[in-house]
Amino acid sequence: MRVDELDTPVLTIDLDALEENLARYQRYYDEHQMALRPHIKTHKTLAIAHRQMAQGAIGLTCQKIGEAEVMVAGGLTVDILIPFNIIGKTKIDRLARLTRQTQITVAADSETTVRGLSEGAQAEGVTFGVIVEVEAGMNRTGVQTPAAAVELAQLIDKLPGLELRGFMAYPTPPASRPIIQETLHLFDKAGLAHPIVSGGGTRWAMEAHEIPELTEYRIGEYPTGGEGHLRAGRHTVEQCSLRVIATVISAPTPDRVILDAGSKTMSASTLQTPEGTSMGYIVEYPEARFYGASEEHGHVDVSACAVKPQIGERVQVLPVHPCPCVNEHDEMVAVRGGLVEAVWPILARGKIR
């Protein structure tokens, strides 16, 4: 089947671009002798995770237990990091089941989390691998100082049913190196194990070598790119593999066209650009501005286009943020050279627990 025969709106992934992105980033980490642990929250798709492992990834990152369950059920019994505080018996029971099937490590930033994990591990007769999350500038989760990281690590080290495996931070721009160095120094001083020193974030993915203390790096968006990465120069248009194909369904004024792709196709994510708010980059009409959306309508300002898109015309749209866009879809169509090669179910979509 040809791509131009697909009904719209439809989420597609260009295999040539995908494969080139996977190879390019893996090459960087190989060159710098740092492990790559891709974050599957972006694509949520087994076929891509299998390709990442085949390229040389050390294992996977899954933000939620539900994502990890999908990966393991899909044959990825690999080393999985869940960089999330796991709270409550229901989740800890699921974590124990996963731990019996593959190597799992979770992150923690409080005594409450680690005591819960320890009790759950003892009740289930398993050992949970745990790393400490230390704050490195996002003001989200993470103990607030390297000294607090060591204190929590010491508790993990002595609690039954837990194995201390190191620490992580997110994101880790080069400027966060002093926090990583200080935490490492204090771990060493206290004689604590740190086989994992994990950093992450696509924005600084190619600067990871500036923190040589990291043993591994977690990135999610590098396989797909997106408008943000395009504008920042990290991906070219050709390297942005994830595209929504949409159809112009209305042209109510000379300056406005409406696409059949609104927030339920693109996600509600927006990007602030010098030209104003954007909800996607239209490949065929770079001067057009996808400035807003209702649920099923994409609102596009075409006043700057010398030639304007016509009703019935199909366009390719790069999402501003690939992760929530993928999460809106049941499947993505894998294409190469204008032909459909496969249809991949997005099995981890909606796995928020």
Could you tell me which stretch among 22-30, 213-221, 268-276, 290-298 binds ligand PLP (CB under 6 A)? 213-221
Could you tell me which stretch among 197-205, 245-253, 257-265, 303-311 binds ligand PLP (CB under 6 A)? 197-205
3-state SS class at 217: strand
Q: Rounded to whole angstroms, what are the CA distances from 152 to 157, 192, 270?
A: 9, 11, 37
Query: For ligand PLP, which is the closer residue by CB, 213 or 284?
Result: 213
Q: Which burial class, exposed, middle or buried, applies to 163 when counting CB atoms under 10 A from its CB (0-12, 13-18, 19+)?
A: middle
Question: Of the candidates 48, 219, 261, 325, which one interacts with ligand PLP according to CB under 6 A?
Answer: 219
CB 90 within 8 A of CB 120: no
Beta strand residue intervals within 43-161, DSSP E: 60-61, 80-82, 104-108, 128-133
In the chain, the amino acid numbered 298 is: G
| Residue 263, phi then psi, degrees to nearest 5 | -70, -20
Query: For ligand PLP, which is the closer residue by CB, 171 or 309?
Result: 171
Cα–Cα dist 61/38, whole Å: 6
Positions 157 through 196 that interact with ligand PLP (CB under 6 A):
170
Q: Does 202 bind ligand PLP (CB under 6 A)?
A: yes
Could you tell me which stretch among 94-102, 155-163, 199-207, 299-307 binds ligand PLP (CB under 6 A)? 199-207
Query: For ligand PLP, which is the closer residue by CB, 41 or 329?
Result: 41
The mark string for 58-77 relative to ligand PLP (x by CB under 6 A, - otherwise) is ---x----------------
Q: Which burial class, exposed, middle or buried, applies to 315 when counting CB atoms under 10 A from its CB (0-12, 13-18, 19+)?
A: buried
CB 341 within 8 A of CB 334: yes
The least distance separating ligand PLP from the CB of residue 85, rounded to whole angstroms, comes to 11
Q: Does 220 bind ligand PLP (CB under 6 A)?
A: yes
Closest CA to 162 of 135, 138, 193: 193
| Residue 332, phi then psi, degrees to nearest 5 | -125, 145
Closest CA to 218 of 105, 304, 72: 105
The mark string for 321-350 relative to ligand PLP (x by CB under 6 A, - otherwise) is ------------------------------
The least distance separating ligand PLP from the CB of residue 61, rounded to whole angstroms, comes to 6
Question: Of the candidates 120, 129, 142, 200, which one interacts with ligand PLP according to CB under 6 A?
Answer: 200
Q: Does 83 bind ligand PLP (CB under 6 A)?
A: yes
Q: Does 290 bind ligand PLP (CB under 6 A)?
A: no
Torsion angle in degrees (nearest 10) through CA of 226, 287, 268, 346: -40
Positions 1 through 40 that interact with ligand PLP (CB under 6 A):
39
Q: Does 201 bind ligand PLP (CB under 6 A)?
A: yes
Q: Does 142 bind ligand PLP (CB under 6 A)?
A: no
Query: For ligand PLP, which is the closer residue by CB, 129 or 201?
Result: 201
Gyration radius from the chain CA atoms: 22
Count of positions on this chain that bind ligand PLP (CB under 6 A): 12
Residues binding ligand PLP (CB under 6 A): 39, 61, 83, 170, 200-203, 218-221
